[in-house]
Chains A and B, each alone.
Chain A
Amino acid sequence: MIRPVIPLLTAALLFGLGTYGVLRRRNAVLVLMSVELMLNAVNLVLVTGDVLRPKVTGQVFTLFVIVLAAAEVGVGLALVLRLFRLRRDINLDQVPLDEEPEPDPAPAPVLDEEPTR
C-alpha cells in the first residue's frame, strides 16, 4: 500500500518553488530553470494519478510534457542567446518593452562582431 499524498505534496511544493523562482529570479536562464521545476511538478501529479487508476493516460501526458519542455527550452535558450547578443545582458528587468528596435543599426555595435570570449 502506498499513500499517493506523499508525491502529491512533493509536487505542490515543487510547483510553489518554481513559481517563487520565476518571480524572484532576474537572470533569464534561472527563470527557465524555475519553469522546468514547475513542469516537473505537473509531471509528478500526472504520474501519481496513474497509481489510482488502471490506465496509463497520465504517463502518456507526462511524455508529452517532457517533449514540450525540451522544445520550450530549445526555443527559450535561442531567445536568451539572441537577447545576450543584442544587449550583452540577460537581466529580464532591463529588457525595454516599449523600445522599437532600430531598423538598421548603422554602426552595428555588436551584431557583426564575433563574441570575444
Chain B
Amino acid sequence: MTLLDVALAVAGLLAVAGGVAVVSTKQLVRAGLWLVVALGAVAVEFLLLGAEFAAWVQVLIYVGAVVVLLLFAVMLTRAPIGPSPDLDRPLLPALLVGAAAGLGLAGLFAAAFGRLTVPAPGAGTAQKLGTAIFDDWVLPFEVLSVLLLAALVGAIVLSRRESTR
C-alpha cells in the first residue's frame, strides 16, 4: 500500500458513502447534494489516476450542470422540503439485484486484478487526450455533437406547452 493507494481508497470510500446516501435518503434535495459528494469523490479518483482532463470535465459537466439540472427538476416538480414518506418501492428485489450486481462485479474484479500492481501514472496531459480524440476518434466526436443537438431540440419540443398549438 503506497500513499496513492491510501488516497484512492479514501476517495473510493467517500464515493460509496455518498452513493449510499443518494439511494437511501428520505429527502429529495439532500439526495442531489449527496450526489455532489459521490461525483466529486469520483473526480478525485480521476485526478489520482492521472486523468486530469476527465476529472475537470467531470466537475464542470456533472457537478456543475447535471446536478444543477436535477435540482431544478426537484424544485420544478414541487418536492416537499423535509422527508417524503413515499419515495421507495419494496426493498427485497432491489436489494437482491443491486447486491448481486455490485458484489458480483466486485468479486470479479478482485479475482482478476487482486494482486496486480502497476507503476503510478504520471501527470496526464490534455495534449495526449486531444491527439487521441482528433486522430482516432474524430468521427464519433462529430456524431456526438449531432446527438447533443438532437437532444437539445428534443428537450425543447418535449417541454413546450401544449396550448401553443
- Residues of chain A having any CB pair with chain B under 8 Å: 1-21, 23-27, 29-30, 32-34, 36-37, 40, 43-44, 47-48, 50-52, 55-57, 59-60, 62-64, 66-75, 77-82, 84, 90-91, 93, 108, 111-112, 117
CA–CA, A112 and B165, complex, Å: 11
B79 CB contacts on chain A under 8 angstroms: 29
CA–CA, A3 and B84, complex, Å: 41
A67 CB contacts on chain B under 8 angstroms: 61, 144, 147-148
Supposing A16-B105, A56-B128, A64-B144 touch, asked if A24 and B31 sit within 8 A by C-beta, the answer is no
- Residues of chain B having any CB pair with chain A under 8 Å: 1-2, 4-5, 8-9, 11-13, 15-16, 19-20, 22-23, 28, 31-32, 35, 38-39, 42, 45-46, 49-51, 53-54, 57-58, 61-62, 65-66, 69-70, 72-74, 76-79, 84, 86-89, 91, 93-95, 97-103, 105-106, 108-110, 113-114, 116-121, 124, 128-129, 132-133, 136-137, 140-141, 144, 147-148, 151-152, 154-156, 158-159, 161-163
CA–CA, A63 and B61, complex, Å: 10
A24 CB contacts on chain B under 8 angstroms: 23, 88-89, 91, 94-95, 98
B12 CB contacts on chain A under 8 angstroms: 6-7, 9-10
Contact of B109 among A5, A36, A60 (CB under 8 A): A5
Question: How far apart are B36's CB and chain A's nearest CB, in angstroms?
Answer: 11
B78 CB contacts on chain A under 8 angstroms: 117
Supposing A20-B97, A51-B50 touch, asked if A44 and B42 sit within 8 A by C-beta, the answer is yes
A93 CB contacts on chain B under 8 angstroms: 89
Closest Cβ neighbor of B162 among chain A residues: A111
Contact of B97 among A23, A40, A44 (CB under 8 A): A23
Question: How far apart are A78's CB and chain B's nearest CB, in angstroms?
Answer: 4
- A25–B87 touching, CB < 8 Å: yes
CA–CA, A69 and B133, complex, Å: 18
A69 CB contacts on chain B under 8 angstroms: 61-62, 66
- B102–A16 touching, CB < 8 Å: yes
Contact of B2 among A1, A23, A64, A90 (CB under 8 A): A1
Closest Cβ neighbor of B116 among chain A residues: A4
Contact of B95 among A20, A62, A111 (CB under 8 A): A20
- B45–A44 touching, CB < 8 Å: yes
- A12–B58 touching, CB < 8 Å: no
A23 CB contacts on chain B under 8 angstroms: 89, 93-94, 97-98
CA–CA, A37 and B147, complex, Å: 22
A25 CB contacts on chain B under 8 angstroms: 23, 87-89
Supposing A1-B120, A30-B87, A81-B76 touch, asked if A9 and B28 sit within 8 A by C-beta, the answer is no
